[in-house]
Structure 1
């Protein structure tokens, strides 16, 4: 029996999303995509904000944006969609300081939502998360090359920060350490979550391609990237999908009329027996009224065409199914 695991890009619940959500039910942030999310056996998102009402905006270095959501509605919203795990290795979980990050960790722990990529110490930040989905045990570890000033250390909370460089001994040691801890938990599937690179770029640089392939060669089953705010192409290496960037899922950001950072996909991965990724389905989504929705016909066609063209350099060709795309993964 296969298990359906959803991977979504950036979920930013602060600022205007937070303001609107105070006037509507928690599940409203998922718009018309809610039922699609609830059909999944598991769901992981990159949580691009803190869950707290405390703290003060980070001012030790220049930060133009600070994202914070009230956990009173945000946690029930995550629960309503069936979110099982959050990647916290990004450039916003310390926006309101250590107290707000600790509140975020506590809120997720209290809701039994797994998390990886940030912690009270460096060791905790690099610790993988484990989630049981039906008969599938999933391990997720998360890292980022963004915002080095947010890096956790031996005594201070923060993020799991690395340089995206396969030639970096420090990076290789960090990844191998996370993989060893993941394997020690006897998972069926290992996912690497990477919040990497700058905003509003349309394809991964060579260094990211090398890194994603190296992760697969090291034993990662799924590479799940995000950070650019626009989706990138998908590569398959030895049967393992490399989603270079999943784009944005929910936010209040200004929309670039050419890049259309309001459009992306829910990445729906079917995992067969023994933890083998078997199929990847892409459901087109669109952000409107500070919520995520299933994309309409025009937006879906736009996203399908661009995903096909952005995946072509990797030798990846999707088949159309309904409004979305589907990719059978080889049994390597």
Structure 2
């Protein structure tokens, strides 16, 4: 085995964690938007990049790997895409070591900011992630590349991830143009069904132990998924997906368990510099820890977090109570059993 910095970190902190196959399970973290540009970049550039993870860092390093939505490009090049309001770009000298220190295993690039500084910055982003041994999916130099599943090793498991988005059609990749894996995320749309089914077949060709789909979908500030989102998520699991990882709303939504598989409709934002909308508490979020044991999805734990001063932190008592109550209430609509634990919440993944 070739040891990467991520692998060494995980091994050093969780030497007893083991891998699937009779030993203790593999733990994979899922978080929503990680936006390392703008004032987050300005705050941390030239300082210890580990600091952006604040008090969450030890928890992240105890994982076998972290899956996230990278809501910015990593580059010093490129011209702004015309007629946008928000542009997110992070300096490689900060972003790359920060992601490495957080145990990042895979980054979704299927979002409405990966092409903010056009094709050169997207190419740089993919290159820097490759150099850091961080897998990525959801954007590329062509539509075929954008739709190519990422396959990587996490804690001894082969993990395949498909990343898709229904945000910002202007960024959609073409046959020979760079962009994102954009399409309507609706199982009633024939072209979407055909495209996603073909992409899932490519992912299954890798014979993964875990198949995840990461979705940047839906409007901002919504605390519940639409009926179309629910249909699409269930449709994915009916086609063999093990976990649906949603993000884009900037706020936490509920968790549904369908056929023993978790659907995280929106994981919120893990770190950013966005406006604090107290009405939706978008600065309060969570780390979703999925355990795979003996070849099966075993458990999902939810650890409350919050964002303060361009830093991800473990939630204080008040914020933690709010996160737990919000997720329990928003998951109840799906009949999901959610129990309190010392660290936050535990979601039962048993078949209904």
Output the TM-score relative to the length of structure 2. 0.92
Q: Deviations over 1:192-228 (max 9, x none)?
A: 0000011111100100001101000011110000000
* Aligned counterpart, 1:221: 242
- Residue from 208, 231, 234 that aligns with 2:255: 234
- Residue from 167, 172, 195 that aligns with 1:151: 172
CA separation in 2, counterparts of 1:316 and 1:11?
27
* Aligned counterpart, 1:177: 198
CA separation in 1, counterparts of 2:40 and 2:308?
11
* Aligned counterpart, 1:188: 209
* Aligned counterpart, 2:321: 301
Alignment of 1:327 with 2:347, yes or no, is yes
- Residue from 284, 287, 300 that aligns with 1:266: 287
Q: Deviations over 1:104-157 (max 9, x none)?
A: 011111111100000111001000001112331110010000010101111111
* Aligned counterpart, 1:39: 62
Alignment of 1:22 with 2:42, yes or no, is no
* Aligned counterpart, 2:223: 202
* Aligned counterpart, 2:91: 70
Superposition deviation, residue 321 in structure 1:
0.6
CA separation in 1, counterparts of 2:84 and 2:213?
27
Instruction: Give SS of 2:225's match.
Output: coil
Alignment of 1:282 with 2:305, yes or no, is no
Output the TM-score relative to the length of structure 1. 0.97
- Unmatched 5+ stretches in structure 2: 1-22
Superposed CA RMSD in Å reads 1.0
CA separation in 2, counterparts of 1:31 and 1:101?
27
CA contact (8 A) 2:258 2:351 kept: no
* Aligned counterpart, 2:3: none
CA contact (8 A) 1:278 1:331 kept: no
Instruction: Give SS of 2:76's match.
Output: coil
Alignment of 1:317 with 2:334, yes or no, is no
Aligned pair count? 329
